Structure 1
Amino acid sequence: MKHLLILLITLTFAGNARAKEQDSKADSIKRLIATDLKSPKTTAKPNVDRLNELAEEYYESYPDSTFKYASMAMAFGSRSGYVKGVADGLNNVGMVNTFRGEYALSTRNFSRALQLHRSVGDRYGMSDDQIGLGRVQDFLGNYPKAIIYLDSALAIRKTLGNEADLADCYNYLGITYDNKGEFSKALDYYLKSLAIYLKHKNELATADSYCNIGIIMQHLELYPKALNYFNTALKIWLKYKDMQGISTIYLNNGEVYMAQRKFAEAFTSLNKASKIFHDMDDREGISLAYYDLGLCYHHTDRRDSALKYLNLSLATAAADKIPYNKTHAYLGLATVYNSTRDHTNALAYASLAKNTADGLGNADLRADAALQLSQALAASGKFEQAYREQRLYSTLQDSVNHTEILQRLAAYDLESAFAKDQLAYKRQNEAQIKAYQQAIRDQRNMIIFYAVVALLTAAIALVYYKGKRKQTLINRELTQKNTEIIAQKNSLDEHSHKLNDLNHLKDRLIAVLAHDLRAPLSTLRGLFGLMADQDLTPEEFAEMAPKVFSRLENTSDFLDTLLFWINSQVDGTNNVTSFSLYDMVENELSILEVQLQQKQLTVINTVGKDDYVIADPNSIRIVVHNFLTNAIKFSPVGGEVGISAYNGVDGKQIFKISDRGVGILPHQLSALFKSKVNSTPGTNNELGTGMGLLFCKDLIENSNGKIWAESEPGKGADLYFSLPVGDATSR
């Protein structure tokens, strides 16, 4: 028979995770560490923990992969000084070595892991290592020592407070007491572990417990019960495709069929188990399958096949140092040789069976060994020794039978108590389920009630919403009408202001035309009158002519500006194009060259040939001309006029004309582009109308531009305008 061992790992999920979930989790962990393994930071604590976690994930299906990842974790943990990571890796390696039958090596692994876990105060790790050591001693047949380790692990886990972890310890103690032949104690521990697994709905671990309880029933020759437990476990393992569990049930069912002398069923079941054990390289399982097949062949009178499989079982058990399996193999061989009257071989194997059984301390095995040895000795003529062995067999068998009866009674009591506990637990669950269902019904009724309330509320809200929406539409329409009325009022106000402004402008224009135009014409008429009357000498005429000419020139400039502005107001500025400021400035400078020379002014023109703007060139020419005449007018004799252009922060081209003349007073500067300014004489007593810049503002703004001035009295003035940037290609 074969127990299914719960994995010796630190995480409880390994006993109950589904196969697909395990594969998925392993893949996730691999992805997390794939990049880290190429990094110099791979020694970091999280990466070592991931490697150990991956090692644990693979133990059920690929022990070699467990060994690989655990070894990597140990190497990286040692490099970074991460003691717990090294200890966890040693524990994983110890599990694999135990699986391979390398018990001396696994003992060293677990012992060193225990030292390291103790040094860092990792109590759970310590309990894991003690379980590993206990399992090794169980395999070696040192049951008292195994129980000491397992009891110590159980004591630690009781202090940690995780009930699921206790179940593993109970299961391992049950296996050890089972191997020792103390079936009632084994059953007690199995039932404790089963109760916890059922409570936590841990299906795979529950299957382990069903299997192990079935083995107890098999020992006590309660074969129908044994098959019932085995097949309950098998259903779970088939569901999860757990090959270890499936192979174990096939082996144990085969033994029960053999005990019931159903040899055809036994052969079928045992051959299935043997195939899976070989596929998984499960050395203990292979040895037990060979032993059971050997006995089946013996019971069906096929001596050669029986000896073949029993010798294979012995060789495997000896190679893997499994004394329990070796004892069974010795007994099987002794049984076959006794039945075929090969007394020499029978005596040899019976003696070996007795020695190993005595070492294990298992009463069942000792009794079977004494019986085979007694038969071999009697057949060899050693009757006195045969008699002693026969008496020993009788004593042991009586003890076994007596113990078996007691244990069978204890098993019935334990099973009954467990059934009562499970029934009580089931009733408690049913009561909880009923309460839960009632709560669901109450909740459903409340949901219906609230749904009705919600529907009524929604209906009321819908009526309110429709009324509110209608009111909102009316209000919106009223607001729109009010907005239109206000817009119309604002438009009327704006037109009214414009009409007022135009009316004021008309008044100013009439005043200018009445005064500023009449004055130079009157002067000219008077001059010509004096000349006609010959009251002026040529010298006096030559002296007065430049002054009269200057006034006529100013008047002409003003008329040009005025007429162009009036034309722009009537026809608009449709001649918008891209043109060069440089060319325009140069043209205006040539026109004003005489005035510049009269005042000996120096012009510094830094306007670039690539400085283009988009506007009506005629409008901008008027503005540039006005800027220049203002600069000339207020610059001192021998002064300097600066002309420049550059790109502004708003992406427009800025034009600037600077003079270093008398400057503009603050109150005049603030009204410069808003109304008529009382013109002051220039540095050579040049006169003006005070309206030129007002027209310039209108012309610039009509060209989508902006005009402004900056000045500090006594230090000159800067006149600016900005226009959209143009280029030579769009002329």
Structure 2
Amino acid sequence: MMKVMLIILCLLLIKGLEYSFALNTIRVDSLEQIISSLPEKNKARKLIDMAGLCLYSLPQKSIYLSQKAYELATKRNNKIDKIEALRTIGVAFFIQDKYEEALKYYLKSLKISKQVKDENQVAVNLMNIGTLYSAWKKYPVALKYYEDGLEILKKNNENKGLTKVYNNIGMIYLICDKYNDALMSFTNSLKISTMLKDSLGIAHTLDNIGIVYSKKGNYTLALQTMEKALLISERSSDNQGTALTMNDIGEVYMKKKMYEKALFYFEKSLIILKKINDKNAMKICYENMLKVNFASNGNDKFHDYFKSFIAVSDSLSLEENSKQLAELQVKYETEKKDDEINILSKEQKIQTLEISKQKNFRNYLIISVFLVTILVFVIYSRFLIKKRSETTLQKMNQTKNKFFSIISHDLRGPINALFTITDQMTKRFEELSKEEILTSSQKLLKSTENISILLENLLQWSLSQTDRLDFKPAKYNLHDIVVKQISLRITTEKKINILCHISPDVFVFTDVNVLKTVLRNLLNNACKFSYPGGTVEIFAENKDRFYEVQIVDAGIGIKPEDIIKLFRLDVKHSTIGTANENGTGLGLILCKELLEKNGEKIWVESVIGNGSIFKFTLKKNDIC
């Protein structure tokens, strides 16, 4: 599924498939004769080229040739040839999953690269080491080497290399479930591939971006992106890219439980994979088709899929056995152990006969294990569904209780206040002075504002709870929106001074309605707990990938034990303001829900007697 570029900036010149095949069949003693016949001046370089031709098919033979090249390069003090010979040995060990040995040769190659101050060679070695640590699942170390190499490639405008490195970094973030970081890396790769008009690179990166959206649960965007990748791959006649993207699209439809469409794409992918004989991808495709068949309760093709899956698996196992035998053959030829080769050859023949005899028994055993696994899976799934239903029901009860609490108590208070004021003004209108009328009108206005805010919060919260809130993030000027929200506030007898310190050139990528709701509630909260004549200040601190918005007041502050209650739906918490203002506690809960659904976060820092700082994040427009 994930098409990771494991070895970047290939080391070697390919002379042709015919020459490569011929080299793979040459014995070690014959290689010695070829080496001795090569011109002395370019002998090391020719050996490195020969090592590259058999690097993937016979890595042990590649190591033997590279070691000879290193000896010759050392004699002639040719450091570039030494760098590439050591790196080729490292790649050969890496292909065999011998990571410690590979790392040893990579580091030697890197050391010489730095000594001769060859930045291109340094970058290649850094990328190879990053790839090794990634395969080793040591992702923080891998990222360190990738980022060091990235700086060199940026400096030298090596755009082709940059696209591959950004993709590799994106894959690490994807594996580590850091989807926003992965999306940013893939987006950087896509920009460069687009600039280079690299169709294959564009298609490859779009498919990776689609995988990120799929992981995030945004299947619509995942399918749109993958379909773009598929169209480009088909136009570029990239059969492998086309097949793998079709498989990825099928997996998205499988997640959406649209099994007919999923099966359609898996079958189309399989047709191409059979043509190009990509058995590893075929195995994955058959496995997905089995999953679809099981999930959709189909049984008409289950036996055919399972039989094909077993056949491909057997074929891969035999090819791997043959490759391992060829590798051992080269190793023992080098060490003069022909007798052991004969033993291995006999063991392979015996193994082939044993496979033939035991095939039926093994198939029955696999089917039995598979059926038991299905049974366990069904039982466990039902348990999870029941547990999830209980959790959902509990949350719904909390939501219902909170709603009725607001309706029965918090909403009734402001409405009663409104009724009392209007009643008094009506009955005593002739007796009231202008000052008393003005005071009553101000109270009436404030009470109406409180009801309006509460009703708006209830509406937003109910839409959020039922997933009917339509998020439409776009580019907005943060300064303008904050100033507008300040101007909309109604002046009260507390006469709070609100100051905006945000630069006019700050742009964010967010949903404007979410931002307005959050600002309205946080400003209302800050004024509520500020002393009369106090000041509320608003800042936006520039972080690496986002802005941190801060709303600062010098009010009464919050106790540490109360801070943990602020954003919780299951805890009833509301504090009287400095002018005896009441509250529901719903505003902060709503802020947290809206920001988190928009991919942001909110928190508070406070000291009793010194005020509070409510902070929340907003994405920068330039990385979205």
Question: What TM-score do you get using the length of structure 1 for normalisation?
Answer: 0.36
- The structure having more radius of gyration, on CA atoms, is 1
Question: What TM-score do you get using the length of structure 2 for normalisation?
Answer: 0.42
Question: Is the helix fraction higher in 1 or 2?
Answer: 1
